[in-house]
Amino acid sequence: MIKKDEPRSAEAEAGGEALATPPAAPPAQPQVPVAPAAAAAPAPRRSDDELFDLGEMAGMTMADLLGPDPGRGGNRGGRAKAAGPAPTTAAPSPVSRSVDDFDFDEETFLAALDELDFVGTTGEVVTGTVIGVESDGVYVDIGGKAPGFMPKKEAGLGVITNLKERFPNGTSVEVLVTREQNADGMVTISARALALRHSWEKVRGLEKDGKVVQVKVNGFNRGGVTCDLEGLRGFIPRSQLQEGENHEALVGKTIGVTFLEVNPDTRKLVLSEKKAATAARFAELEVGQLVEGQVVSVKPYGFFVDLGGISGLLHQRSISGGQLRDLREVFDQGDRVRALITDLDPGRGRIALNTALLEGQPGELLIEKEKVMAEAEDRANRARSLLRQQEQQAG
């Protein structure tokens, strides 16, 4: 027992209570003092890199992560989470497989793409087979997941009263997709829209070639008359009619017209009977031809001569080889004139005329106009021969 007046040892003060001192054996050698056992220190805190280290998962497959298949008696709940350090055993290496190990080839791949091929882009032209006809339209198999539907009003140009007669089952039809597929995969198609597209293409070709076409007038309004051309509605203004003052009387008649405006975007088809008459008349003319007409207008630069629906210009420098003081010395309004054609421009509707080439000598027309006009045919032949020689020399 420790006496009250004895000082306490360092061990007792450190431990907070009295300690019994065991009997000490005489040491053979000096002993290093041993520190009293301290309480167990807490485990050191692991860093984020250590906690989230995925090194042990390198090379593991999804099957390794999921664990054994439960259907085969295994536990697919995953591996037991190790509390200690990472296992020393190596993770199973992934199985290496080549493309040849799979039951797959190019034909199978292309067939899969064909099955997924989308049919029904707006504006696309497709060919299909009629598979059903209802009172409101026609169902056509166009190769999509669902058939295309063609409303009755889109079945073609004009009025179709009996769809079943026009589209029996099994009929092959070419149509235009006008609306892409809905939620059920069905697209809206139209034979009429495709026919109209072809009509506009044909009409534009006729315009480009400068063709004169025959149309039947089927209606009129205050501004002109209407007609049908290749299934399209055409309009002829009164100013472009030969009989514009009585245009309502043209209904039911067939007239020749040509084109003023062809615009598929705005659906404007404007035609002209007068321009058609000019075009038809131009088709009858050629350079070097002798024509006869009447002076209808006198201008400071020459005469305008009516050649039967079209006008030609006899310019002052082409009237005579002599010196002119006044144009009216030779011709006046209302006079009949015979002249050679020296230039044609159907696009601009211009015809150049010449009477100087009919003269035997420069200025003859000023002195003997009647003689020159009477012998115009023979003089024209000589003039044409002269023109051909000049062209050969120039060429």
Query: How distant, in Å, are the alpha carbons of 58, 156, 278 from that of 173?
Result: 61, 11, 42
- CATH pick for 285-394 out of 3.40.640.10, 2.40.50.140, 1.10.540.10, 2.40.160.60: 2.40.50.140
Task: Specify the CATH class of 210-278 in words.
Answer: mainly beta
Query: Do 210-278 and 285-394 fold alike per CATH?
Result: yes
Residue 235: the pLDDT is 97
- Residue 267 falls in which region: left (phi positive, over 0), alpha (psi -120 to 50) or beta: left
pTM here is 0.53
Residue 103: the pLDDT is 56
Residue 91: the pLDDT is 52
* SS (HEC) of the chain: CCCCCCCCCHHHHHHCCCCCCCCCCCCCCCCCCCCCCCCCCCCCCCCHHHHCCCHHHCCCCHHHHHCCCHHHCCCCCCCCCCCCCCCCCCCCCCCCCCHHHCCCCHHHHHHHHHHHCCCCCCCCEEEEEEEEEECCEEEEECCCCCCEEEEHHHCCCCCCCCHHHHCCCCCEEEEEEEECCCCCCCCEEEHHHHHHHHHHHHHHHHHHCCCCEEEEEEEEECCEEEEEECCEEEEEEHHHCCCHHHHHHHCCCEEEEEEEEEECCCCEEEEEHHHHHHHHHHHCCCCCCEEEEEEEEEECCEEEEECCCCEEEEEHHHCCCCCCCCHHHCCCCCCEEEEEEEEEECCCCEEEEECHHHCCCCCHHHHCHHHHHHCHHHHHHHHHHHHHHHHHHHC
The superfamily CATH assigns to domain 125-195 is: Nucleic acid-binding proteins (2.40.50.140)
> In tens digits, what is the pLDDT along the chain, a chain of 395 residues?
344 444 444 343 434 443 344 444 444 454 544 444 444 455 556 655 555 555 555 566 666 655 655 555 444 444 444 444 545 555 555 555 554 554 556 676 556 555 545 566 888 898 999 999 998 999 999 887 778 999 999 998 877 888 888 899 999 999 999 888 777 778 899 999 999 999 999 999 999 888 889 999 999 999 999 999 998 999 999 999 988 888 999 999 999 999 999 999 999 999 999 888 888 888 889 988 999 999 999 999 999 999 987 899 999 999 999 888 888 989 999 999 999 999 998 877 889 999 999 998 999 999 999 999 999 999 999 888 877 777 777 76
Residue 79: the pLDDT is 45
**What residues does each domain of the chain span?**
125-195, 210-278, 285-394
Residue 356: the pLDDT is 92
Q: Give the amino acid at 122.
A: T
Residue 44: the pLDDT is 58
